Amino acid sequence: MANRKHLEILEQGVFEWNRWREERPDIVPDLSEAYLREANLVGFDLRDSSLHAAMMLGADLSNADLRGANLSDADIRFAELKGARLAGARLERTKGVTAGILRRAQRPMRLQRKLAESLWPTLLAVVVVGGVVLAVKTLALSGDESEPEAAPAAATTLTPPPEEPRGALTTLLESLRFPEWSIEKARVQGSVLTIELSVDDVDETIYLPTLAAACGALEGLPNQSPLREIRILDRTGENGWAYDRPRNCPAIMQAPTHMLRLAAGADSLRWTAQ
């Protein structure tokens, strides 16, 4: 049940509520199971608040700060969320959640430090590599006889044509550097992508950011041939994890931070070389 005093402050409006939040940053607002149907919550500072099972159908949450808020089991159908900040919000079983809301919820706080230095540089690198590949293709098609010498360095991964995306993918992955580990080797054999890391043991805190980065690389290379498995292994290449549903990579990319493990877990299993 919601804390009665917290509800009373909420009812006083955005100015009083936000001033209270600023003066008492140590208090975590408890608005669980609160009845806030069609409530005007425009601009409210609801960071880290508990809104578990709250009824917010049709509420106006425009420009509200919901970062880290617990919205599990809440009802936000028809709510206005324009400009709302949702990074790290918990959305398990929340009614009215759309793909757009999931994307804005971003990545889990407990993996934020690792992902910040792995996933986003990955996406940036995808753009850079994609630009290089496009430039090489353009040169190859231009008929300029002065350029053949430049092609092999960037084009070793571009011939034969069917292997272009796979070559670009492995080159990209091997260029990544994570906070505490790196990718020592990446290769595609048939429909299996194998990634070997510079660690002796691949636990979940290493596996999940690496998987998210791999999915980001795949998403950035739309011509990549379908894969049926992504293996993320230790430096020996004999132990690690296997993700057996790469076609679900978009779900990994869209999952809120706290749900990344759930999004990947159903399709992940421990892998050991036979």
Give the mean pLDDT of 199-215: 90
Residue 241 pLDDT: 92
pLDDT in tens, 221-267: 766 678 889 999 999 999 999 998 888 888 787 776 667 777 787 77
Helical segments of the chain, H only:
4-10, 14-23, 99-105, 109-116, 119-142, 151-155, 164-174, 204-220, 249-254, 260-265
What is the torsion angle, in degrees rounded to the nearest 10, for the CA atoms of residue 155, residue 161, residue 163 and residue 166?
70
Least confident of 54-68, 93-107, 141-155: 141-155
124 contact partners, CB below 8 Å, separation of at least 6: none
Per-residue pLDDT tens digits for 89-142:
999 999 998 877 887 775 444 444 444 444 444 444 444 444 433 443 443 444
Read off the pLDDT of each residue in 186-212 and give the average, rounded to a whole number.
91
Model-level pTM greater than 0.75? no
SS (H, E, C) 159-193: CCHHHHHHHHHHHHHHCCECCCCEEEEEEEECCEE
pLDDT at 169 over 90: no
Q: What is the pLDDT of residue 224?
A: 66
Which residue did the predictor score with more confidence, 5 or 114? 5
The reported pLDDT for the residue numbered 222 is 66
- The structure tokens 């009614």 sit at 95
Domain ranges of the chain: 1-106, 113-272
Q: Topology of 1-106 in CATH?
A: Pectate Lyase C-like (2.160.20)
Helix axes 109-116, 119-142, angle to 10 degrees: 40
